[in-house]
Amino acid sequence: AMAHGHGPGRCRCCGEEAAERGAAWGLYLRIDRQRLQCLNERREGSGATVFRPWEERGDRSQFVESDEDEELLFNIPFTGSVKLKAVLVMGEDDGSHPAELRLFRNIPHMSFDDTAKEPEQTLGLSRDPLGELEYPTKISRFSNVHHLSMHFPKNFGAETTKILYIGLKGEWAEPHRHEVTICTYEASANPADHTLAQITPQTHFIS
């Protein structure tokens, strides 16, 4: 078990530690759910339900199951820039649990055809029915992620793959708003144009 890391006599475990741990897995709040996609999901919209609060990871009524075969592909756009530090994948303790995860960054609208590309990282997964196994990412490759694709190519032998919960741990930063800078620049340029137009006739008048 991990050390608590509180000073002596200040240990209000373990609710506090659980709250801290839950906050660490808060990147689901930064997903642009309007644009989130799960390809090959059996029930439309079910892929989105696996991204939920850490405390609710044990809710087995919310899950996604693959349809045609064992593959699942998530396209996850974020509302800013994310530094992804770790992932957690929870499934049933049987053959439907995904056995491998391939991570791609910043390839919006990935299709199964695109998964032929080389991923940024491939993770061999173990069965994790309780949501306890963290898989650290190569942070240098996932330090400026606007869009994350998670490809689950295979499971432990079942016809279909079932995922109960996906946790994403990391940091989030506000998006850089380039378009705002441009607008401000144009707005400040316009009054200058008008000023010039007003000055010009007067200049002629004086001369």
Q: Which two tokens stand for residue 148?
A: 């994350």
Domain segments of the chain: what residues?
A: 36-173
Q: How far apart are CA 103 and CA 150, in angstroms?
A: 5
pLDDT at residue 179 in the model: 54
pLDDT at residue 199 in the model: 47
What's the whole-model pTM score?
0.78
pLDDT at residue 183 in the model: 46
Q: How far apart are CA 62 and CA 56, in angstroms?
A: 10
pLDDT at residue 177 in the model: 64
Identify whether the C-beta of residue 149 lies closer than 8 Å to the C-beta of residue 108. Answer: no
Close Cβ partners of 60 (under 8 Å, ≥ 6 residues apart): 164
| Cβ atoms < 10 Å from Cβ of 100 | 13
Residue type, 162: K
pLDDT at residue 10 in the model: 44
Which portions of the chain are predicted below pLDDT 70?
Answer: 1-16, 177-207
Q: How far apart are CA 149 and CA 108, in angstroms?
A: 8
Concatenated DSSP letters of the chain? -----PPTT---TTHHHHHHHHHHTGGGGGB-TTT-EEETBSSTTGGGGGS--GGGTT-TTS-EEBSSSS-EEEEEEEEEEEEEEEEEEE--SSTTSB-EEEEEES-TT--GGGGGSPPSEEEEPPP-TTS---EE--GGGGSSEEEEEEEE--BSS-SS-EE-EEEEEEEEEPPP-HHHHHHHHHHHHHHHHHHHHHHHHHHHHH-
CATH 3.90.550.10 is the classification of domain 36-173: no
Identify whether the C-beta of residue 166 lies closer than 8 Å to the C-beta of residue 88. Answer: yes
pLDDT tens digits for range 84-111: 999 999 999 999 999 999 999 999 999 9
